[in-house]
Amino acid sequence: MILYSIIIIISLFLVTLFNSLLTTIGFWTILLYSLLTIVVMIAIDGVVALSTRIVPPSKVNPFKKIYKITKVEKKIYVKLGIKVWKEKIPEFGKIFKIFAKDKIYEPKNNEYLLKYLKETWYAEVMHFFSIFFAFTALLFLPYKLNIVLPIVIVNAILQIMPIMVQRYNRERLITLYNYNLKHSGDVNEQKN
């Protein structure tokens, strides 16, 4: 949460600074609309998060090929140092008491792992759609190019990071899930 807060504060500072130096908009107007845009981004993200929950867990299949990471994608994540920074990404499932994804609490329980896998699906889909719906703020907020667009872009970057974490973690969870299946002898339970 601290990392995201720092990024948001730095973005707010930069948008305010550049607009103060390069436009005739007053400082307090810039600051007010920058803060308003951030609040709108948070609201849009919240609506998208709630909307993804409309999909019932029985319809969620985290084993589909589209959700599998490729070797190239995995190499990119490793080169970007995902193992170092993935723990710094806010985990709202625990905060909102939905499902904590900060660590694997029951590594030998495939029912738990399946629920965990589905939660990674919800998180990935939510963050993916949040990127696109954030651009709707350009339709109704003023100062579209010099205030709203830079904040929307920062929001998109902040959405990409959790998507990468969900995809990276899902591969490891599937490996653990399949390992448990193999060693429990129940091959009929496998989902992929």
What is the rounded average pLDDT of the residues 94-99?
65
pLDDT at 7: 87
Closest CA to 170 of 97, 50, 59, 77: 77
Confidence tier at 95 by pLDDT (50, 70, 90)? low
Q: What pLDDT digit, counting tens, does each position of 100-148 carry?
A: 676 788 989 999 999 999 999 999 999 999 999 999 999 999 999 999 9
pLDDT at 114: 94
Instruction: Say yes or no to pLDDT of 186 above 60.
Output: no
Contact between 173 and 117 under an 8 Å Cβ cutoff? The reply is: yes
Instruction: Say yes or no to pLDDT of 187 above 50.
Output: no
Instruction: Say yes or no to pLDDT of 90 above 50.
Output: yes
Domains of the chain: total:
1
What mean pLDDT is reported for the chain?
A: 89
Q: What letter does residue 69 receive in the DSSP assignment?
A: P
Alpha helices in 23-91 (DSSP H): 27-52, 71-79, 82-85
Closest CA to 4 of 182, 159, 122: 159
State percent of the chain over pLDDT 90.
74
The pTM assigned to this predicted structure is: 0.84
Kindly report the backbone phi and psi dihedral angles of residue 136, in degrees, each rounded to the nearest multiple of 5, phi listed first.
-65, -20
Pick the more confident residue, 190 or 71. 71
State percent of the chain over pLDDT 70.
91
pLDDT at 1: 66
Cβ-Cβ contacts under 8 Å for 141 (sequence gap 6 or more): 33, 36, 37, 40, 147, 148
**Domain hosting residue 53, numbered range:** 2-189
Closest CA to 174 of 65, 23, 47: 65
Instruction: Say yes or no to pLDDT of 188 above 50.
Output: no
